[in-house]
Structure 1
Amino acid sequence: MAVVAALTLAACSGDRGRRSSARKPTPAAQLMPGITSAPIRQCLGRLAEQGVDFQPLPDRDFGGGCLAYGSVKLLDVGTPTTNLGAMTCPLASAFSGWVRFGVVPASRAWLGSEVVKVETFGTYNCRTINGIGATGRLSEHARSNAVDVAAFILADGRRISVKTDYRSADPGVRGFIKAVHQSACKRFATVLSPDYNAAHNDHFHLDMGRGPFCR
């Protein structure tokens, strides 16, 4: 398969549809020209072994500690996902595994329908943790090392959102939300939910920074 043309950091994955059985990800060796970091090469190799379609992105330093080093653009993890920009390779690997082996099976088990789209608020964002002002500790988003997940679209048309369904009275929805949250805590260094604070009332924050921390 031809290597996909370079994409901007803010580009979205869009509704690409389910992966075709005839489609194969680009071999990792074709995606590594110029990448000299051994850890990054190893991570890209593992990502390719997961059957994920991705594009390595050039290292970018935006100033003020905001950067995107060792990052990739996820093109296809098997389930369409919106608003994915630059993600560090370890984050991309954890996210891909979570969607494929945590989210999708949980939707089948608890909701009787498969997740066919994951909606996110994005990845890279040059900002502090509280998102207010120019002072304070930088968020992992500023290092392309975090993703905020907002909702899940099911094959039967339902939309399960963190904002409206995190404390749902429906036992199936509540079980699904709990299952994907617990699965995330096993894969990411930090997982923040509406239980953490009001700033996370409408999404799961997932990052590969300091941890482990699950709330």
Structure 2
Amino acid sequence: MASWRVPASLAVMALPLLLSACLFGSGGGEKRPAPIRERAKGPITLHGPTPRETQQCFTDLSRSGIRYSPIPDRDFGGGCVVLGAVQLLDIGVPVSGIKSMRCPLARAFAGWVRFAVAPAARQILGSDLVRVESFGTYACRAIVGRPESATKLSEHGLANAIDISGFVLKDGRRITILRDWQSSDPDVHRFLEAVHGSACKRFATVLSPRYNAAHRDHLHFDMGRGPFCA
């Protein structure tokens, strides 16, 4: 019976293709971007002069009667760097879940709570605001909710974003984004529309449940690129 052989020249030409298939084929060997995460050894403290803009922001907080503590500049790895940040201690209303925040974000957030949320609660809902609930500020991670952004650093990784989940009133009511964003109570609906609209005037980016399912339970505010309001 006659035998069939591949000419040596064709075999040599096919070798790079076979190797390529092994490296980049469907067997899962292709290189993927490393996940965004903090370095295992912990953050590195950065030493340098405080920019004039940050100094002015600190002054603005003090003049507004806001109690805060400056936080040292730190590089956490993975692109997560926190510069010119503060820990808010007292803005007049307790806020749960907040960690370090870049000063401009802290300034905008304190102004929003004091001059938008608190008055809206009193005027629309007839009760004083006694607590703001959040899912936090700093988190070294990528943007969530959009597959094409899975390798892009979130503003949370720069302590430049905060997620608000709800509000507690003096009369005992607790209004949450998850439960009440589509509330049939006209006053609750008007309150949430008012605080959302005010946020769009203070922060660079505002994302609500209207944006995508990942934001069904919170309002995302950041001072990154913008303006964008959804």
Conserved 8 A contact 2:178-2:216 = yes
Q: Equivalent residue for 2:74?
A: 60
Provide, for residues 43-64 of structure 1, a one-character-per-residue CA deviation record: whole Å limited to 9, x for no partner: 1001111110000000110111
Conserved 8 A contact 1:194-1:204 = yes
Q: Equivalent residue for 2:229?
A: 214
Secondary structure in 1 matching 2:142:
coil
The alignment status of 1:159 with 2:138, answered yes or no, reads: no
* One-letter amino acid matched to 2:64: Q
The alignment status of 1:51 with 2:69, answered yes or no, reads: no
* One-letter amino acid matched to 2:209: P
2:202 maps to which of 187, 191, 198:
187
1:42 maps to which of 37, 42, 56:
56
Equivalent residues in 2 for 1:173-184, closer than 5 Å: 173-184=188-199
Q: Equivalent residue for 2:31?
A: none
Question: In 2, distance between residues paired with 1:129 and 1:183?
Answer: 24
The alignment status of 1:76 with 2:90, answered yes or no, reads: yes
2:115 maps to which of 82, 89, 101:
101
Provide, for residues 154-201 of structure 1, a one-character-per-residue CA deviation record: whole Å limited to 9, x for no partner: 000000000000110000000000000001001000000000000000
- Report the Cα offset of residue 39 of structure 1: 1.1
* One-letter amino acid matched to 2:185: D
Question: In 2, distance between residues paired with 1:202 and 1:108?
Answer: 23
What is the CA RMSD across the aligned residues, in angstroms?
1.6
In proportion to residue count, which structure has more helix?
Answer: 2
Task: Report % sequence identity.
Answer: 57
Secondary structure in 2 matching 1:206:
strand
State the aligned residue count. 182
Question: In 1, distance between residues paired with 2:211 and 2:53?
Answer: 32
Query: Any unmatched runs of 5+ in structure 2?
Result: 1-47
- Report the Cα offset of residue 135 of structure 1: 5.2
Conserved 8 A contact 2:96-2:134 = yes
Secondary structure in 2 matching 1:168:
coil
1:147 maps to which of 162, 169, 184:
162
* One-letter amino acid matched to 1:199: A
Q: Equivalent residue for 1:114?
A: 128
Change (3 A) 1:205 1:135: closer
Question: In 1, distance between residues paired with 2:73 and 2:145?
Answer: 24
* One-letter amino acid matched to 1:173: V
* One-letter amino acid matched to 2:153: L
Secondary structure in 2 matching 1:91:
helix
Secondary structure in 2 matching 1:185:
helix
* One-letter amino acid matched to 2:154: S
Conserved 8 A contact 1:35-1:41 = no
Change (3 A) 1:138 1:131: farther
TM-score scaled by length of structure 1: 0.82
Question: In 1, distance between residues paired with 2:202 and 2:164?
Answer: 14
1:130 maps to which of 144, 150, 153:
144
